[in-house]
Structure 1
Amino acid sequence: MHVKTHILVVDDDAEIRLLLDEYLTKSGFAVSTAEDGDAMDAFIQSHGYPDLVLLDVMLPGEDGFALCQKIRRDSQVPIIMLTAVSDEMDQIIGLEIGADDYIAKPFSPRQLMARIKALMRRVHVVEEMHEEQPPRTIQFGEWMLDTLSHRISHLENQDTHDLSGTDFALLMLFLTRPNEVLDRDTISFATRGREALPLERGIDVQLSRLRHRLGCSEQFPHYIKTMRGNGYILSVPVSYGH
C-alpha cells in the first residue's frame, strides 16, 4: 500500500492554508495545517513529525525562525521556509538555522510543487544511501562522522555537532567524492534535489555553515576549498570505518 507524503503547512493566513491544503491534497499529498507555533506543537505532540514542513516566517507569537530552531532540536524533517519576496536576509537566516530550502511569496502552485518534489528526491537519495549500508564511521582530517546519528566529532578536543539533513547530505557528497571539484549544480542537487538557480545564495550559506562546523572559513579553508569559477573540493584525507 502506498503511503502518502504528509505535509504540515504552518501559516497564520487562513486563505493560504486553505489554498495549499486543497492544492497539495489534489496533488496526492496528505496535508495538515497549523495557524501558529502552538498549533504546530499540538500537532507534533499528537501525531509526530510529518514528512515535510512548509513554515511561514511571519507568524504571531513564535516566528518561523524560532519554530525552525525548535524543530531542529528534535528532528531532521525537511523544512521549506515561506519568506517575503524581497527579503533575502530572511532566506539566508532560514538556511543558516537549518531550513532545507525557501520559496518567496507570492509563489505559483507549480513553483511550490517543484520545490517540494525536488526536496523529497533529495530525501529519497539519502534514504537509499542508508539502505546501501555505508560505513558507520568516516574519518576526514581531524573529524569523524557517524553516518547513523549524523554527528561529527573532533578527534582531539571532542567537539561535536549534530548535522541537519541538508548539512549531512552536503558533507556526504564531499566525503564520497574527495579531491574532486564539485560544481554548484551538483551540490544543489545533492542537498535540494534540483539545479542551482542563478545568483542563488543558498549554496554559499550551506557551505559557510558546514565550514563553520568544521572550524574553518572561506579565508582559511582547511577542509573545503573554493576553486574559483569551477566549484569546491574536499582537500583532506578520507578513510572509511565499518
Structure 2
Amino acid sequence: MHILIVDDEPAIADTLAYALRAEGFSSEHCALGGAALERLADGSAFDLVVLDIGLPDISGFDVCRRLRRDSDIPVLFLTARSDEVDRIVGLELGGDDYVAKPFSPREVVSRIRAILRRLRPERQESAEAHGRPQKSAKFAVDRDGLRIAYHGHWLALTRYEYLLLALLLERPGRILSRPQIMAAVWQDDGESLERTVDTHIKTLRGKLRAVRDDEVILTHRGLGYSLAA
C-alpha cells in the first residue's frame, strides 16, 4: 500500500513515514496542498492520503474538496485542533477519519489499516484467501502480511530482512548508503552497527538466489547498495 503524507512539518512527516515503513507501507511526502494535488493528478497510484488541515498554501479542507471532484481516494485528516466543528466539516467534505495532534504514529497507522479494510474489503479478502501477491511481478509485497514474494515464491524473511528489502523496493536503482539504511531500518536499535547491514544484505542475497540465480541487490563500493532497476 502506497500512502501520500501531506504535512508542512518535516518532523511529523518523517515520523509517520518511518511508522508506515515499519508496518510494511510505502509513502511519499508533500509539504504543500498544491503540490499534493499535482501529485495525485498525475496518475500516481496512492491508496490513501494523510492530510494536514493547516497547510501554508491552501487548507487541507480545500485540498479534500478539490480532490473529491474526481477521486474517491481515502483521506485521513490531521489537525492541531480538536474542535468538533472541524471534525464535522472534514467528514462532510469526504474525509474518512480524523486525528488530532499530538498523536501516536502507531494510532495513525492503525486508523489507516482500518480505513483500507473498511473501504476495500473485497480486494484484501481475495488476496488473503488465495495467499498470493496482489500484483504479478518479479517482486510482490503483501504489506498486510509483512511478506515479500520473488518470482511467485514467498521468501522466509526475518523482520529486518523484510524491512530492508521493502526499503530497497521503494527506490529501485537508487543507491542507499549504510547510514541511510541503518536510520530507516534499525532506527530503534541503538546498539546496531553498520556491518549489520552487510550481514543482512548477504542473507537476503542467499534467499533470493535460492529462488533464482540473478544479481538483484547491487553493491556500490564506498557508496552503499541498490536494487537492480
TM score, norm. by length of structure 2:
0.51
Q: Shift of residue 23 of structure 1? A: 1.6
Give the Cα separation in 1 of the matches to 2:7 and 2:22.
19
1:21 aligns with 2:20: no
Give the Cα separation in 2 of the matches to 1:45 and 1:100.
20
**Which residue in the other structure is 1:43 paired with?**
39
Aligned positions of 1:115-134 closer than 5 A: 115-125=111-121, 127=123
4+ long deviations beyond 6 Å? none
Q: Shift of residue 46 of structure 1? A: 3.5
**Which residue in the other structure is 1:81 paired with?**
77
- CA 124–86 in structure 1, closer or farther in 2 if over 3 Å, else same: closer
Q: Shift of residue 106 of structure 1? A: 0.7
Aligned positions of 1:162-241 closer than 5 A: none
Other structure's SS at 1:73 match? coil
CA contact (8 A) 2:74 2:115 kept: yes
**Which residue in the other structure is 2:99 paired with?**
103
Give the Cα separation in 2 of the matches to 1:55 and 1:23.
16
Other structure's SS at 1:77 match? coil
- CA 49–89 in structure 1, closer or farther in 2 if over 3 Å, else same: farther
**Which residue in the other structure is 1:68 paired with?**
64
Give the Cα separation in 1 of the matches to 2:79 and 2:94.
15
Give the alignment partner of residue 59 of structure 1, picking from 50, 55, 61. 55
The root-mean-square deviation of aligned C-alpha atoms, in Å, is 2.2
1:8 aligns with 2:1: no
CA contact (8 A) 1:83 1:91 kept: no
Question: Structure 1 unaligned runs (5+)?
Answer: 130-242
Other structure's SS at 1:7 match? strand
Give the Cα separation in 1 of the matches to 2:79 and 2:95.
12
Aligned positions of 1:141-156 closer than 5 A: none
User: Matched residues, percent identical?
Assistant: 44
TM score, norm. by length of structure 1:
0.49
Other structure's SS at 2:69 match? helix
Deviation string for 1:10-32 (max 9, x for gaps)?
A: 00111111111122112110100
